[in-house]
Structure 1
Amino acid sequence: MKDSNKKPELLVPLKNFKSLNAVLDNADAVYFGVESFNMRMYSDNFKLEDLPKIVKTCHATHISAYLTTNVVIYENEFNLLNKILDKAVEAEIDAVIIHDIGAINLVKEKNLSFHISTQANISNSRSAKFYEDIGAERLILARELSLEQISEIKTTLKKAEIETFVHGAQCTSISGRCYFSAEICESQGYSANRGRCIQPCRRKWTVSDEQSNEFLYDGAFFINAKDLCMIEHIPKLIEANIDAFKIEGRMRDPIYVEEVTSCYREAIDAYYDNTFTETKVKNWVNRLEKVYNRGFSTGFYFGLPKGSEIQREFDGNISNFKKIDIGKVLNYYPERKAAKILLTSGKVQLNDEIYIIGTHTDTYLKQKVDSIQIKQKKNLTETPFVTSKENRLAIGIAVDKPVKKNDKVFKLVHR
């Protein structure tokens, strides 16, 4: 059994301050990249000058902040890496996620705590001990390990923690160390090992034989892995003494990050409260299916993935829900904790779940509508249906947190 006094850390992805604001109530730790040297260079990465604000915001709510610098580093890049790490020291970052040996050496010179990235492909106890012996505080194990193999590695370590992924996109290649993208683009500028993968594995490929006869392999996307989802198996992961559960998703919007984080927070807490039930699992899975997903699998945790764990029919999101833009904030009234919303599409009803997200601000708010006012008419249960610019409508609603002018208002609706 797991030590009841130490829950596994719930580690969640960030791409901007909106994502950070979305997880402040439920995350134990966050990981993110800045402008260079991380595995999600197409994401809305933070700027280097954002580091102090990120760390200060996290530490104010007892959240750990980890900076990703987990790409291959070339000789001419160490000056920039050195600058980034100096800023990380000044900001009092909690740890750096890294795997390049030269970069590890530089991190150690600065006395920064460091975690070994899954890019290092740690798949056995000897590799794990090597990184532990050179000072790594945590090892993010290869994704291709079974739960039994993970447990075996854990028992050989004296100090280093282990971290594994529990949810999100999976690479077809070994722990993401793939040259497919760079090869078909004939450029290292599109290398997965530099955070610039164009995800060719998500496409439908034509197969041809020596006579140039072409056919679609099984008529499908044959290397398009489903997303990892381990929420049903949280008790087994906790009892395997895994120290940190990691959610993938630094390319995802804050609605995704908030919902996934919330579900896994509830699942971990339910285990320790002895309230983890099949009914709750079904509810969590239903909620996870509402946000971006390619279908779910358990990856390598219980053996080699089968053909059924490839998403053959679709290349992207299969959620039955979509995010629609229904309006924007016209004004916020702090004394009344209310906002005036310009409704530009659809309608709003009491108990609707809405999202207010900044376009040029850091606003993120998810809440249910518990009041509606139109002009002087209060206590309404719904608004008229807006279909065009001509019948756009200004409405008043109570809001749980401050919002700003021009913040967008969204709903999730069935496709």
Structure 2
Amino acid sequence: MFLFCGQYALTSTDQKTFFSGLPSYLSGCVPFPWLASFFPIWENLFWIAFPVPVGMEKVELLAPCRNWQSLKAAEKYADAVYFGTHVLNLRQQADNFDIQELQEVTNYCHDRDLEVYLTVNAIIYDNEIQVLRETLEAASDAGIDAAILHDLAAIQVAREIGIPFHISTQANVSNTLSAQFYQDLGATRVILARELSLEMIKAVAGGLSTTGVEIFVHGAMCTSISGRCYLSLDCMDSDTFSGNRGRCVQPCRRRWRVIDEENNEFLYNGKMFLNTKDLCMIEYIPELFMTGARSFKIEGRMRDPHYVEVVTRCYREAMDSYQEGTYTKDKIANWLDQLSKVFNRGFTTGFFFQRPTEKDVEHDIRGNVSKFRMIEVGYVNDFFSKKKVVKIILTNGSLKLGNEIFFKGRGSTTYFHQEITSMRIHGKDVTETPVATSKNHVLVSIKVKERVKENDRVFIFTNETYENFKAGKDRTKRYNLY
């Protein structure tokens, strides 16, 4: 099977040089100059056909989960999920799961054909060995498919217990010999350092016989080598806030003044020169498949469930489209549009094609560059299961027919969203509600497709606040950005 996914206009003398210079992961690509006859406007148009290997080993899509809501957001699209408990993982500021929930989470995932990976990838100290052992034993008893580890003590305990383990990107595996070392220790997978090119990934994957390779394809990039950074610890003067202990305060995302010992200041004009953009490889799915990696990983255990859902869905569609031979530029544009609306710092391809440069850093905006936000508009007052009707108390803004409305649990596992198709106020159908404020609430009834619980929070996802602000209107004051 071949997939036409690239379009180039080169002179005929350049074509031979171009194809002879293609990297090895594109070996087998074939030019089709005769296609130019269908496009007379471009005399020298030809297409590149990426071969889709028949019978190739399935490539896993791995999604992040910070809580039950994120798990529900990912379950329709991911092949596997990864998460942490409240100890020894590098996202201690995420909600995380209780260790007592591991069995329930594992059963929930396995019932939906999802693999389950537990992150235990922090640096381990002597006084934590017992906690480490208890955590891995609980994971093994629950049937967790693998633990994601970094510290050699964690690897040793996992070997003793007999739980499968993956090597975290914190181990900075950057070459075949290192990967083979962990393969000999019994690792079933190595999560490669983010600082590798496509060619380097392919070389490592090709040098392993029993251990698979996992690579990050989307999400935050650390300015340090695979996250092994001590800047947060130094700035806070406490290992409590070490990035290697899961509590990084992200000083790299701030503006800095750089002054040397002679009081000379390097002028950066207020730019954030360490604030890396987010990795996004949705445009290069064929190239990723050619590396031989067995798992494509999405970063985002600190992100909102809507982020997890959108990103996982886009990559699911992209991977399936590639394998089905329907991966097109129009689809890529649509996926990029969706990804640009959820949290992002701008996009980069990281180290996959070349070493990052200044253009791969977001100099001006510290956080989310998207103009879309989750706006909390109210909460669930009551739910009538037979009629599938929810009563919502609006406290902020208004709703109208056609809005996409989100329900998120407040101390519950609720997460779903749907279009508003009908609304009633005081028993009468309405197309739009009055504007609610913190002092003047509005009670509205809406038909829903799933069960909700009292006090579940209600949101809309919109860029309206920004548009109104630009238009000089005052409505932005009633919104609380989430």
Matched, 1:261 2:312: yes
Q: Name which of 329, 338, 353 aligns with 1:302.
A: 353
* Structure 1: distance between partners of 2:196 and 2:305: 29
Moved over 4 A (4+): none
* Structure 1: distance between partners of 2:450 and 2:367: 33
Q: State which drifts further: 89-98 or 347-356.
A: 347-356
Partner of 1:198: 249
* Structure 2: distance between partners of 1:293 and 1:118: 21
Partner of 1:144: 195
Partner of 2:334: 283
Structure 1 position 393, deviation (Å): 2.2
Partner of 1:105: 156
Structure 1 position 218, deviation (Å): 4.0
Partner of 1:36: 87
Matched, 1:167 2:227: no
Matched, 1:337 2:337: no
Partner of 1:60: 111
**Structure 1 stretches of 5 or more lacking a match?**
none
Q: Name which of 270, 275, 278 aligns with 1:224.
A: 275
SS in 1 for 2:116: strand
SS in 2 for 1:20: helix
Matched, 1:386 2:439: no
Structure 1 position 234, deviation (Å): 1.2
Q: Is the 8 A contact 1:119 1:142 kept in 2?
A: yes
Q: Is the 8 A contact 1:205 1:216 kept in 2?
A: no
SS in 1 for 2:450: coil
Structure 1 position 288, deviation (Å): 1.0
Question: Which is higher, the Rg of structure 1 or of structure 2?
Answer: 2
Partner of 2:62: 11
Q: Is the 8 A contact 2:78 2:114 kept in 1?
A: yes
CA separation of 1:237 and 1:278: change in aligned 2, threshold 3 A: same
Structure 1 position 337, deviation (Å): 2.1
* Structure 1: distance between partners of 2:400 and 2:190: 48
Partner of 1:240: 291
Q: Which amino acid aligns with 2:459?
A: F
Residues 183-236 of structure 1, C-alpha deviations (whole Å, 9 max, x = no match): 222222221111121111111000113442445424300011000011111121
Instruction: State the TM-score, normalizing by the size of structure 1.
Output: 0.96
Structure 1 position 12, deviation (Å): 0.8
* Structure 2: distance between partners of 1:287 and 1:228: 15
Structure 1 position 373, deviation (Å): 2.3
Partner of 2:472: none
Name the % identity. 47
**Structure 2 stretches of 5 or more lacking a match?**
1-51, 467-482
* Structure 2: distance between partners of 1:208 and 1:21: 48
Q: Name which of 150, 157, 168 aligns with 1:117.
A: 168
SS in 2 for 1:219: coil
Q: Is the 8 A contact 1:2 1:240 kept in 2?
A: no
**Relative contact order: is structure 1 or structure 2 higher (C-alpha 8 Å, sep ≥ 6)?**
1
Q: Name which of 123, 131, 138 aligns with 1:80.
A: 131
Q: Is the 8 A contact 2:394 2:436 kept in 1?
A: no
Q: Which amino acid aligns with 1:412?
A: F
Structure 1 position 257, deviation (Å): 1.1
SS in 1 for 2:105: helix
Residues 252-294 of structure 1, C-alpha deviations (whole Å, 9 max, x = no match): 1111111111111111111122221111111111111111111
- Matched pairs, number: 413
SS in 1 for 2:379: strand
Partner of 1:127: 178
Instruction: State the TM-score, normalizing by the size of structure 2.
Output: 0.83
Structure 1 position 3, deviation (Å): 4.7
SS in 1 for 2:157: helix
Matched, 1:367 2:418: yes
Structure 1 position 126, deviation (Å): 0.5
Structure 1 position 351, deviation (Å): 2.2
* Structure 2: distance between partners of 1:142 and 1:78: 26
* Structure 2: distance between partners of 1:392 and 1:65: 43
Q: State which drifts further: 162-171 or 204-213.
A: 204-213
* Structure 1: distance between partners of 2:71 and 2:437: 34
Q: Is the 8 A contact 1:42 1:195 kept in 2?
A: yes
* Structure 1: distance between partners of 2:207 and 2:388: 54
Matched, 1:323 2:368: no
SS in 1 for 2:425: coil
Q: Name which of 376, 388, 408 aligns with 2:427.
A: 376
* Structure 2: distance between partners of 1:155 and 1:5: 14
Q: Is the 8 A contact 2:436 2:442 kept in 1?
A: no
* Structure 2: distance between partners of 1:353 and 1:384: 15
SS in 2 for 1:217: coil
